[in-house]
Structure 1
């Protein structure tokens, strides 16, 4: 009869240890749920995700019901284990029960279930949410009482229980998240997402076409010269000005010019009439802002001006999109012609190449917060235009000028210092 009693107590003890493992794994899994994935599943009306999300809206009550259940189960298990040990070994059984039960609970009801829950939170949290939801209703008065006492104690330490932490991610945190996505995110998509995140750090001045490279229509020229230029241009939109690019009076779309040609009404006045008013953009405008401005204004090209109103260059919608998705047209692949790899690991680079393009093509980290071209970067570092070829170090790269002509550094030999040491 006594053996049957002990067997029943052992079965009950085993059941209590299973319950303890349930509460321990539930606590860990609920807290380990990815909040952003959870919100995504909630939007898709995932029933288990909705239950878990509602429980997490009040973490004090969730933790309260879990700990009430866990402590009740563990205390009851301790009492039963002690009763079994006393029946088997007498007074010495109390010490034996304490040691054995501690190890059993630690291994089977704490470490193992919590580790499993941390590794697979959704598999455990979603089914457990149904049981916890029922338990919360059953023990609500007790949970409310414990929560009220706990919240008042927290207020003494200046903690507001109802105030949730900031779940929003900063740009740097998002960038880290994208970098660590690994195989979960295709390399192409990863590059595009990083390009979007970098838009707010790059200004129009960083990617604009400088004024000396801007092709435009000078209305002070003869009509014959203008038509010759228009027939040979590769652009669909061109700025129109009088004498100097600072005197921009409009932006001409080649489609409108084609209509003039069909009607046989090509004159300077007609060209000016079908052109659109120029759209000016401050040079310090972040690309993220400018992309939205292009959308709001229904524009694809803007005239970049400095703080004095002087034209610095032009920026197009395509230029901004290329920062996100990479080069869109073959004409921009001319950068390959500006960079010539050598057998010793160095590169011959054209002095007019843009620093940002060099960094992108070679995965370098030349400074981009100053001059935009390699020639400008070298002259700024030297604080003067060299009279003869010189060798210098910029960031972690050794720079050697090879050709200087007409006050412009034509060709440069560059090599990363660390790579140079390996040769």
Structure 2
């Protein structure tokens, strides 16, 4: 054959190998989520791609048959076609016993480079750019090619399956989507600008509802405002004016003897109607939802939805009231900085770019968001930043006690009756890998 015919055959072989390489990467890299969206929109070829991914053994066998056959044939033809011309060229520069060997090496390198570049590297990089679009475009011709190679592919697959069973290798693809997968997709979307920073934050918070327990968002016991059955009218009026809550617990004598709750609206109606508030009665007291402190926020949402309630009392294993939680508290957890609570002062105050004043009762998840910390050490042992300090200090804290973790120093600023009221968090120049406890000198 002439040089032109040889070149034409090699070009055809390279094009065939490139098509198979392109198809192989596109079909393997096409994401099921996007293919399902295309299929639901009426694209029949997308469903064919999904079906092929479910039964991909025949395709990969056929693809490897085609690629290896073309590579071997291209090497034989290419080396034979180019070597005489390369040998003649080498003879002009060098004449000796190595001429034929040099011609073989150069012709082999030329053909190999052409196949690597145009039949392997470029098609695969193109397929990675838009795998779903390419997979849908090539699915019909590749199905024809699979049918042609079916007999040989069946034999190869039978041998491969036998070897897989012999070595107990599981060949079933796991397509379950985990939270880590979704989180990675959200991070990629945020980096690409598809998701705004605040939207990304919202979605992360929604997923955190499954992980965060009730104590991380509830109003703690010491901050719960409640009425007693014999509450003086003046005291009720004062609490209504001082605390702009919509619901108040009603207890017999103390907070652990809960009877129910009253809606501030009902009391205001009585005031407007000039009715006495000297004694709270059944017409104003409602049954209160009681939940354990071990529930997640997601489970609390389910309870609120099933009971049509928006307010619940949280109790611990000793049947003591540890706090109250409302639907608004959970929404604040999701919305973050977009929601400003009127029921409490801001828990995290940013003084400058490198320091924060933080309330001791601030949930540890909020701390992680504010300081951009991925993980706190042993965070299953505490719920708040005060709990973190006590866990690391291994004692009742006092002012000036400090813990260094990561790039931050957590220092106790104020303690009230053994309770950490406020901490100062400072960003350090050098990052610490292990938490370090710093105690003030004894007075």
- Per the TM superposition, whether the score is higher than 0.5 is yes
Q: Distance in 2 between matches of 1:160 and 1:355?
A: 41
| Corresponding residue number in structure 1 for 2:35 | 38
The secondary structure found in structure 2 opposite 1:418 is: strand
Aligned partners of 1:219 and 1:226 also within 8 Å? no
> Taking structure 1 as reference, are residues 60 and 334 closer, same or farther at Cα in structure 2, changes over 3 Å only?
same
- Cα distance, 1:50 vs. partner? 1.9
Aligned partners of 1:29 and 1:121 also within 8 Å? yes
| Corresponding residue number in structure 1 for 2:232 | 222
- Cα distance, 1:140 vs. partner? 3.1
| Corresponding residue number in structure 2 for 1:15 | 12
Residue 334 of structure 1, aligned match among 333, 340, 345: 345
**Pair 1:159 & 2:156 matched:** no
> Taking structure 1 as reference, are residues 167 and 342 closer, same or farther at Cα in structure 2, changes over 3 Å only?
closer
**Pair 1:309 & 2:313 matched:** no
| Corresponding residue number in structure 2 for 1:418 | 429
Alignment RMSD: 3.7
Structure showing the higher helix proportion among its residues: 1
Aligned partners of 2:231 and 2:279 also within 8 Å? no
**Pair 1:108 & 2:108 matched:** no
Q: More displaced, 50-59 or 166-175?
A: 166-175
Name stretches of at least 5 consecutive residues in structure 2 with no aligned partner: 89-99, 433-443
Aligned pairs, number: 412
**Pair 1:178 & 2:191 matched:** no
Q: Distance in 1 between matches of 2:215 and 2:359?
A: 21
Matches within 5 A, 1:222-241: 222-223=232-233, 225-227=235-237, 229-230=239-240, 233-241=243-251
| Corresponding residue number in structure 1 for 2:60 | 63
> Taking structure 1 as reference, are residues 296 and 76 closer, same or farther at Cα in structure 2, changes over 3 Å only?
same
Residue 210 of structure 1, aligned match among 209, 220, 239: 220
Deviations 1:230-281 (A, max 9, x none): 4654222222111211111112233444565677766677743343311111
The secondary structure found in structure 2 opposite 1:251 is: strand
> Taking structure 1 as reference, are residues 117 and 290 closer, same or farther at Cα in structure 2, changes over 3 Å only?
same
TM-score (norm 2): 0.78
- Cα distance, 1:304 vs. partner? 0.6
TM-score (norm 1): 0.81
Q: Distance in 1 between matches of 2:129 and 2:259?
A: 64
Name stretches of at least 5 consecutive residues in structure 1 with no aligned partner: none
| Corresponding residue number in structure 2 for 1:384 | 396
Q: Distance in 2 between matches of 1:315 and 1:66?
A: 60
